[in-house]
């Protein structure tokens, strides 16, 4: 560099005329850019650095290193999960972790294998991944058992395939596990699958049908919609969807468009959520969607409003698409505004502190739901995703109020975990709102619920644990973004409880009752998100903070990492 500087300096000294020309040229270009900016203002979501974004905590001072022993325990849990499945249910969608049986819940392509592959890759479990790649290459996505659910198929299968391609493209997967030719075949599989899903988007609005029949290549309603001669049996005129079903395909399809150069995927998934993002229907709360929504007209035909199951990942993707997409995307500012409005609406209208209970004076922040005029003081485990997502937004969009809100919500979810006898939180719970809601919907009904309420300030309304990731997912975001050690401790406590109570002869079982320490507590089910998300987020929390950094990767709603290309 010094050589270069000397060279240019002496050049200008010798020829002052050329430095004048240079100055004039710079002025002309600057003027041109200013005029152009007035004609076509560029959308600036934020002044993002050229590559990636500054999301993670920066002043680690040595604390961001891996906690090797803990990381190894989680990796061992993944190995156990993989090998039990490999030995007893290979190729089926899921293993039954208690009996060793199998189930075909996701059209029979081996959901576990596709969904868990990005976890294997991040953990460097290469023998395991090599087996998975072999299976993946042999899948025939043109044939499906049963009707196909475009939402589940996009997030589990399409996302799983694309994430493997992404991880390979950055050099994370060694050549003896995957090579160029196999990588291209996996991408071809993704294209085949996306083409088979295409009839989903054949509606007047572009919103997806709830199901696709791969034989007839037609969109179909789901079972809850009765196409009967008897119109009384039909709740709505047309099939309806919740926001998550129509608003959780844009990340996967944008990545597919980037990898193939074919615009149709990004375009169709943008049209699919357009009736929600650019809604022409008035709803009472800024940014928040009323649901369900009629897929033929785009009209909200119900008045349900919340961030819980069925609505959740629409809001998640509003934020994440602004992280994933290149800043030149013309819609990013709309997505950002819509996200922020809905996050502030959530905070203002649906968040509620629990009133102190006789044996538990602390108050905790939860988020409820609204149905028309009725506030529902109930929250589900799924809604615990909100703290991680809102924390991510608070960092990316520089919103300190949202940070406080997100961390308070996380404390609430933590409280549901630490209050039960297994130290795992329930599927849904209720609380007595401290103020603001005159007539809450739920009160403790049974003696047991009253006892739980007295002891902890909330009571379980569904006490199962379904292997879900949302709490540990949010702990992962909290650890990486705040750098506060306690989130790692909370994650470890959750993992120890899962190891103790869920580990079964053939995998990790779900629990019938998180308050039950008895023997018959296992439920013979293990969903693929256990490996795709729960174990991945736990492991990443104990790994070095540079592994799958939030500055470079965006995690899909199924936990699949995609490259941030900015």
Ligand X SMILES: *[C@@H]1O[C@H](CO)[C@@H](O)[C@H](O)[C@H]1NC(C)=O
Residue 470 falls in the annotated catalytic set = yes
C-alpha–C-alpha distance, residues 468 and 413, integer Å:
13
Task: Quote the tokens at residue 427.
Answer: 């599927």
Distances (CA, A) of 48 to 172, 320, 396, 564: 25, 14, 9, 12
3 state SS for 330-398: CCHHHHHHHHHHHHHHHHHHHEEEECCECCECCCCEEECEEECCEEECEEEHHHHHHHHHHHHHHHHCC
Interaction between residue 201 and ligand X (CB under 6 A) = yes
Distances (CA, A) of 382 to 55, 150, 313, 367, 471: 23, 20, 10, 11, 8
Nearest distance, CB of residue 133 and ligand X, angstroms: 21
Residue 291 CA from chain centroid, whole number: 20
C-alpha–C-alpha distance, residues 159 and 141, integer Å:
14
Residue 152 falls in the annotated catalytic set = yes
Nearest distance, CB of residue 263 and ligand X, angstroms: 10
Closer residue to ligand X (CB): 190 or 475? 190
The catalytic residue among 152, 411, 462, 493 is 152
Q: Which of residues 419-448 bind ligand X (CB under 6 A)?
A: none
Nearest distance, CB of residue 91 and ligand X, angstroms: 8
**Per-residue binder mask for ligand X (CB under 6 A), 26-65, x = binder:** -----------------------------------xx---
CB 153 within 8 A of CB 111: no
Closer residue to ligand X (CB): 89 or 288? 89
DSSP 402-446: HHHHHHHHHHHHHHHHHTSSSS---SEEEE-BSSS-SS-S----S
- Measured from each CB, the residue nearest to ligand X is 198
Radius of gyration of the chain (CA): 25
CB 433 within 8 A of CB 383: no
CB 95 within 8 A of CB 526: yes
CB 161 within 8 A of CB 190: yes
Interaction between residue 137 and ligand X (CB under 6 A) = no
C-alpha–C-alpha distance, residues 138 and 389, integer Å:
36
C-alpha–C-alpha distance, residues 512 and 523, integer Å:
6
Which residue in 252, 345, 251, 333 sits closest to 307, CA to CA?
Answer: 345
C-alpha–C-alpha distance, residues 239 and 340, integer Å:
29
Closer residue to ligand X (CB): 207 or 498? 207
Closer residue to ligand X (CB): 88 or 378? 88
Interaction between residue 198 and ligand X (CB under 6 A) = yes
CB 485 within 8 A of CB 63: yes
Q: Which of residues 263-282 bind ligand X (CB under 6 A)?
A: 264-265, 268
The catalytic residue among 93, 94, 427, 473 is 427
Q: Which stretch binds ligand X (CB under 6 A): 169-177, 201-209, 328-336, 385-393?
A: 201-209
Per rule CB under 6 A, count of chain residues that contact ligand X:
15
Task: Confirm or deny that 557 is annotated as ligand binding.
Answer: yes
Nearest distance, CB of residue 79 and ligand X, angstroms: 20
Closer residue to ligand X (CB): 190 or 535? 190
Q: Which stretch binds ligand X (CB under 6 A): 197-205, 405-413, 503-511, 534-542?
A: 197-205
The catalytic residue among 94, 115, 316, 470 is 470
SS3 253: helix
Q: Compute the C-alpha angle 353/357/359, nearest 5°.
A: 140
Q: Which of residues 177-196 bind ligand X (CB under 6 A)?
A: 194-195
Interaction between residue 302 and ligand X (CB under 6 A) = no
Residue 312 falls in the annotated catalytic set = yes
Interaction between residue 101 and ligand X (CB under 6 A) = yes
Counting every residue written for the chain, the total comes to 566
Interaction between residue 396 and ligand X (CB under 6 A) = no
C-alpha–C-alpha distance, residues 471 and 463, integer Å:
15
- What sections of 170-311 are H helices per DSSP? 180-197, 243-246, 250-260, 264-277
Closer residue to ligand X (CB): 101 or 124? 101
Interaction between residue 202 and ligand X (CB under 6 A) = yes
Nearest distance, CB of residue 200 and ligand X, angstroms: 7
How do 94-95 and 102-103 pair as beta strands? antiparallel
The catalytic residue among 312, 473, 527, 533 is 312
Residue 533 falls in the annotated catalytic set = no
Residues with Cβ within 8 Å of 38's Cβ and at least 6 positions away in sequence, in order, are none
Residues with Cβ within 8 Å of 429's Cβ and at least 6 positions away in sequence, in order, are 366, 378, 379, 416, 458, 459, 460, 461
Nearest distance, CB of residue 528 and ligand X, angstroms: 17
Q: Of these, 56, 75, 82, 102, which contacts ligand X (CB under 6 A)?
A: 102
Interaction between residue 388 and ligand X (CB under 6 A) = no
Enumerate the active-site residues.
152, 312, 427, 470
Interface residues with ligand X (CB under 6 A)? 61-62, 88-89, 101-102, 194-195, 198, 201-202, 206, 264-265, 268
Q: Which residues are annotated as a binding site for Ca(2+)?
A: 557
The binding site comprises: 557
């Amino acid at each position: 560099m010094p050589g270069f500087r000397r060279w240019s300096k002496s050049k200008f000294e010798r020829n002052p005329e050329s430095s004048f020309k240079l100055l004039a040229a710079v002025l002309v270009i600057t003027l041109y850019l200013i005029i152009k900016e007035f004609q076509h203002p560029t959308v600036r979501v934020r002044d993002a650095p050229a590559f990636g974004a500054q999301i993670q905590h920066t002043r680690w001072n040595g604390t961001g290193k891996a906690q090797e022993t803990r990381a190894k325990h989680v990796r061992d849990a993944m190995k156990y999960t993989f090998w039990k499945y490999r030995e007893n249910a290979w190729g089926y969608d899921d293993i039954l972790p208690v009996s060793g049986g199998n189930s075909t819940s996701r059209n029979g392509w081996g959901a576990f294998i596709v969904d868990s592959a990005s976890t294997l890759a991040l953990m460097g479990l290469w023998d395991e991944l090599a087996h998975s790649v072999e299976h993946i290459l042999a899948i025939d996505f043109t044939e499906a058992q049963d009707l196909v659910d475009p939402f589940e198929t996009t997030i589990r299968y399409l996302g799983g395939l694309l994430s493997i391609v992404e991880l390979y493209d950055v050099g994370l997967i060694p050549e003896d596990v995957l090579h160029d030719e196999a990588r291209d075949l996996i991408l071809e599989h993704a294209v085949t699958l996306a083409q088979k899903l295409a009839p989903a988007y054949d509606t007047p609005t572009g919103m997806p049908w709830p199901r696709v029949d791969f034989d007839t290549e037609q969109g179909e309603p789901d079972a809850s919609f009765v196409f009967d001669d008897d119109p009384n049996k039909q709740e709505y005129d047309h099939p309806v969807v919740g926001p998550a079903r129509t608003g959780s395909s844009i990340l996967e399809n944008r990545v597919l468009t980037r990898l193939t150069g074919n615009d149709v995927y990004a375009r169709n998934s943008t049209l699919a959520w357009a009736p929600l993002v650019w809604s022409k229907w008035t709803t009472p709360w800024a940014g928040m969607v009323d649901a369900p929504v009629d897929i033929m007209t785009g009209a909200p035909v119900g008045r349900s409003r919340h961030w819980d199951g069925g609505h959740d990942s629409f809001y998640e993707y509003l934020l994440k698409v602004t992280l994933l997409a290149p800043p030149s995307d013309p819609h990013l500012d709309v997505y950002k505004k819509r996200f922020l409005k809905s996050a502030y609406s959530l905070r203002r209208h649906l968040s509620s502190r629990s009133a102190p209970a006789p044996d538990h004076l602390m108050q905790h922040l939860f988020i409820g739901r609204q149905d028309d005029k009725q506030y529902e003081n109930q929250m589900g485990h799924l809604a615990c995703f909100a703290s991680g997502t809102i924390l991510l937004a608070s960092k990316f969009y520089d919103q300190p109020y949202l940070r406080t809100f997100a961390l308070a919500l996380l404390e609430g979810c933590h409280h549901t975990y630490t209050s039960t006898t297994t130290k795992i939180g329930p599927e849904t719970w209720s609380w007595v709102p401290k103020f603001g809601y005159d007539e809450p919907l739920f009160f403790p009904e049974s003696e047991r619920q009253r006892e739980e309420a007295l002891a902890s300030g909330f009571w379980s309304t569904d006490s199962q644990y379904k292997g879900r990731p949302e709490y540990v997912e949010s702990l992962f975001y909290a650890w990486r973004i705040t750098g506060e050690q306690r989130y790692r401790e909370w994650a470890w406590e959750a993992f120890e409880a899962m190891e103790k109570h869920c580990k079964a002869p053939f995998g990790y079982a779900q629990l019938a009752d998180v308050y039950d320490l008895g023997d018959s507590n296992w439920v013979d089910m293990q969903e693929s998100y256990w490996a795709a998300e729960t174990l991945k987020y736990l492991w990443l929390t104990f790994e070095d903070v540079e592994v799958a950094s939030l500055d470079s990767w965006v995690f899909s709603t199924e936990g699949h990492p995609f490259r941030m290309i900015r």
